[in-house]
Amino acid sequence: MNVQPEQTAPSAVCGLADELQAPDTLRAPASFWQRLLRSRVGVVSLMVVVLLLVAALFGPLLYPIDPTRADFRSINAAPSLAHPLGTDRLGHDTLARLLAGLRVSLLVAAVVEVINILVGGLLGLLAGYFGGWVDTVIARLADMVFAFPGLLLAILVGAVFGQWVTEHYGSTARLVLVAASLSLVGWPLMARYVRGQTLSLRERDFVLAARALGQRERGILWHHILPNVAGLVITAATLDVVNAVVGEATLSLLGLGIQSPATSIGKMIVEATPQLSQNALLVLAPAVTLAIIVLAFSFLGDGLRQAFNPGER
């Protein structure tokens, strides 16, 4: 009796590849939320972030006061029913300006993170997967950006192009310029995160199985590598929101950020500092809001990191 050698069906190999491909966060999304909800600090920070986003998006509907309208009968007024946080030296409602500034600051942070993900994430993905001269060129480009100390590059861009952009294209273009200048500093860090994760993933069994089955490189990147780095990208972007908000506030402190009549959290602090002895609430309100943003996104990022990577503590 002849015994034929057992052959592995292509469907079985495909099933094995699919099984190895699926990361924990995609195969069992409920477990991710369970791990996140298990962290009390993560849950509280998530609630605070949601409240901040609601205030930024729906602030004009919830509190329909024009932040640029001056009430000369209520200059430097104390908190009241008409002005819950008082007014500034021009009679502007502080709460209305705070909501407008919160919206601008979070919008700048959102644009910064979108640019960081698109530029830094894509370059890191290509550098980590293909290696060779692609990795070398991207790594040298990132090193050139890292050579500039901190926000110096963003300050340089704002100082050189800020006034010209505002005069020719308006305050919206100035906002985009501020976000782009902050992204010049942030994208290399995102690229390094994604590159390191991709270097590890490209040697994993599910990637090798997909390559052995003849799947194209683009398909491997899109269906196997990208879903597995998504958690890292989301966590890094959440943590980097803090740097973007503080960076915008720093540029505003130097007069290189958002220009009047628009406002932001940092710009409110700058404008109110000379009146600290007369009306401390003008400084305390945006300063406390900035501290809440920093703490909420920092703790939320840490909670997301632990939820995506339960082995880390």
Residue 281 has a pLDDT of 87
84-108: pLDDT as tens digits? 888 888 888 899 999 999 998 899 8
pLDDT in tens, 119-129: 999 999 999 88
- Percent with pLDDT over 90 in the chain: 20
DSSP string, the chain: -PPPPP---HHHHHHHHHHHH--HHHH-HHHHHHHHHH-HHHHHHHHHHHHHHHHHHHHHHHS---TT---TTSTTPPP-SSSTT-B-TT--BHHHHHHHHHHHHHHHHHHHHHHIIIIIIHHHHHHHHH-HHHHHHHHHHHHHHHTS-TTHHHHHHHHHHHHHHHHHHHHHHHHHHHHHHHHHHHHHHHHHHHHHHHHHHTTSHHHHHHHHTT--HHHHIIIIIHHHHHHHHHHHHHHHHHHHHHHHHHHHHTT-S--TTS--HHHHHHHHGGGTTT-THHHHHHHHHHHHHHHHHHHHHHHHHHHH-TT--
> In this predicted structure, what is the pLDDT of residue 13?
35
What pLDDT is stored for residue 54 in this prediction? Answer: 94
Taken in order 29, 236, 114, 299, the sign of the CA dihedral is positive
**Average pLDDT estimate for 222-230:** 83
Residue ranges and CATH numbers for the domains of the chain are 39-60+86-308 (1.10.3720.10)
Does pLDDT of 218 surpass 90? no
| Ramachandran angles phi, psi of 277, nearest 5° | -75, -25
Q: What is the pLDDT of residues 13-70, one digit of tens each?
A: 344 334 434 444 444 444 777 777 887 888 899 999 999 999 999 988 888 888 888 8
Quick one: 192 exposed, middle or buried, by C-beta within 10 A (0-12, 13-18, 19+)? buried
